[in-house]
Structure 1
Amino acid sequence: MTDTADTRSGTISTRLNWLRAGVLGANDGIISTAGLVVGVAGATTARGTILEAGVAGLLAGSLSMAAGEYVSVSSQRDSERAALEVERRELVEEPEAELEELTVLLTERGLSPRLAREAAEQLTERDALRAHARVELGINPDELANPWNAAWASLIAFTVGAMLPLLAIVLPGPSARVPVTVVAVLAALTLCGVVSARLGGAPAGRAVLRNVGGGALAMAVTYAVGTLLGGTG
């Protein structure tokens, strides 16, 4: 029953982490693309130019996020595999020492020494590597980080987020483009802030304020720079 509960808890935690990463990826897509297209809109009213810049930013950003996530998670997976290999070797070479180590770890988690010893022996008989991986290393051998899943998730999340400011800037007429984009982006950032705060168990107000403030500042700066460069061009 303990293994089942641990597996269920690990699965839920993994899903929450992926969901949180997806929200953050979408948030990055919103802010970076909004800053880009608003900056270009400050320099020119040509819809084609704004669209080209936005699409280029979307592709560059999503591919960069995917590549970065792939490299990062691949490194994490390599580290997990290396740690499991070390543990596997130690279990073969020093089984008694590893049993004692597992007993100590279980004792530190609140079990009495006698019960910890019995639990360590039972876990070792069932699957020693799995027991040490979970208790000592905090790794689930069945759910090692997948770099391809991480890369695709980042690419999709960023793209979904980036589509909002891109559509908001090219669909309205020239006079309404920037105001519509600003409103749409700030509303989306508010939603992202609320969701990410709830997933992390943090107060929503502070997260929303940071999110909206950062997005508003990014758009204000890029629009000002775009207007300046457009006026001198």
Structure 2
Amino acid sequence: MANIQAEYHRTQHIGWLRAAVLGANDGIVSTASLILGVAAANATQSAVLVAGAAGLVAGAMSMAAGEYVSVSSQSDTEQADIARERRELATDGAHELAELAAIYVQRGLDTELAQQVALQLTAKDALGAHTRDELGLSETVSANPLQAALVSALSFVVGASLPLLIAWLAPYAVLTPAVAATSLLFLVILGGLAAYTGGAGIVKGILRVAFWGVLAMALTSGVGRLFGVAV
């Protein structure tokens, strides 16, 4: 039999890509919006930087905690379903075999071939076959709470550091346009990279990231101007 090379699939990135994009996007948008809102309220540059730094730390911890709790709940649900399948295989193997064969029939196999496939897969790894084909779970898309938490927190810090660095380096007179313009640029780059890595349309990825970022920064800046006080 000829050697078959393993194919590369973009879904291999799905676990960390979602967390990384979410963390970096939230870091840029939330920190830039906070900086613009505080600056619009006529705060001093030092107050703007303190608010931005506090937002970075709080946001990173919030992202880590939120991702860990959310993905842990997903993982718990997956493990509960797998445990149920394990019990059903141990107590009613014939029914589970028929259930697996019926799945293959629905996917286009004739009844006899579906039965043969179900038998062979059950003989090799019954739980794996049911986990994959009945529950729709696989190692590629399975939840990893710790990975999601760490990636989200680190990517948030990276994203939040960008507008904070600009706020620190830019003269106060041009702080607001400098942060707004560079944050939009960062969002465009992030959207393009995320779309490219995931195999999606780059322009579409850029537009959807940039739109929500601009909206958030505009609304927060408007709130700062409305109240006209440092927060």
In structure 2, what is the equivalent of residue 163 of structure 1?
A: 161
Q: Structure 1 residues 13-22 or 195-204, which shifts more?
A: 195-204
Contact 1:102–1:136 (CA under 8 A) maintained in structure 2: yes
Secondary structure of residue in 2 paired with 1:139: coil
Relative distance call for 1:86 and 1:130 in structure 2 (3 A) is same
Tell me the residue number matched to 2:20.
22
- Tell which deviates more after alignment, 66-75 or 139-148: 139-148
* Amino acid of the structure 1 residue aligned with 2:152: S
CA spacing shift, 1:98–1:177, aligned 2, 3 Å: same
Distance 1:56 1:228 in 2: 22
Post-superposition offset of 1:155: 0.4
Q: 1:220 to 1:144 in 2, by over 3 A?
A: closer
Percentage identity across paired residues of the two chains: 47
For residue 132 of structure 1, report the CA deviation from its aligned partner.
0.5
Shift of 1:182: 1.2
Shift of 1:144: 4.3
The within-5 A match list for 1:217-228 is 217-228=215-226
Moved more, 143-152 or 163-172: 143-152
- AA in 1 matched with 2:40: G
Deviates more, 1:87-96 or 1:103-112: 103-112
The RMSD of aligned alpha carbons is 2.7
Give the whole-Å Cα distance in 2 for the aligned partners of 1:38 and 1:224.
9
Structure 1: runs of 5+ lacking an equivalent: none
SS in 1 for 2:173: coil
Partners of 1:92 and 1:228 lie apart in 2 by 66
Structure 1 residue 117 and structure 2 residue 112: aligned?
A: no
- Is contact 2:103–2:133 with CA below 8 Å preserved after alignment? yes
User: Following TM superposition, by how much is the alpha carbon of 1:80 offset from its aligned partner in structure 2, in angstroms?
Assistant: 0.8
TM-score by length of structure 1 reads 0.87
Q: 2:176 aligns with which of 170, 178, 186?
A: 178
| 2-structure distance, mates of 1:152, 1:22 | 9
1:112-134 alpha-carbon deviations (Å, 9 max, x no partner): 22221111111111111111111
Per the alignment, residue 60 of structure 2 pairs with: 62
Instruction: Note the C-alpha offset of 1:227.
Output: 3.4
One-letter identity of the residue aligned with 2:143 = A
- Contact 1:16–1:199, Cα closer than 8 Å, also in 2: no
Q: How do 1:139-158 and structure 2 match up within 5 A?
A: 139-140=137-138, 144-158=142-156
1:205: how far off?
Answer: 3.5
The 3 A distance-change label for structure 1 pair 212 and 142 is: closer
Output the CA distance in 1 between the equivalents of 2:32 and 2:104: 50
**Contact 2:65 2:149 (8 Å CA) reproduced:** yes
Higher helix share: 1
For this pair of structures, how many residues does the alignment match? 229
Q: State the secondary structure of the residue aligned to 2:172.
A: coil
Q: What residue in structure 1 maps to residue 101 of structure 2?
A: 103
**Shift in alpha-carbon separation, 1:231–1:82, aligned structure 2, 3 A:** closer
Partner of 1:129 in structure 2? 127
Separation in structure 2 between the aligned mates of residue 82 and residue 130 of structure 1, nearest angstrom: 15
Q: Please report how far the alpha carbon of residue 175 of structure 1 lies from its aligned counterpart in structure 2 after TM superposition.
A: 1.2
- 1:74-99 CA-partner distances (Å, limit 9, x unpaired): 11111111101110111011111111
Structure 1 counterpart of 2:87: 89
Aligned partners of 2:10, 2:209: CA distance in 1, in Å?
26
How far residue 216 of structure 1 moved from its aligned partner, in angstroms, is 2.1
Gaps spanning 5+ residues in structure 2: where?
none
* Secondary structure of residue in 2 paired with 1:137: coil
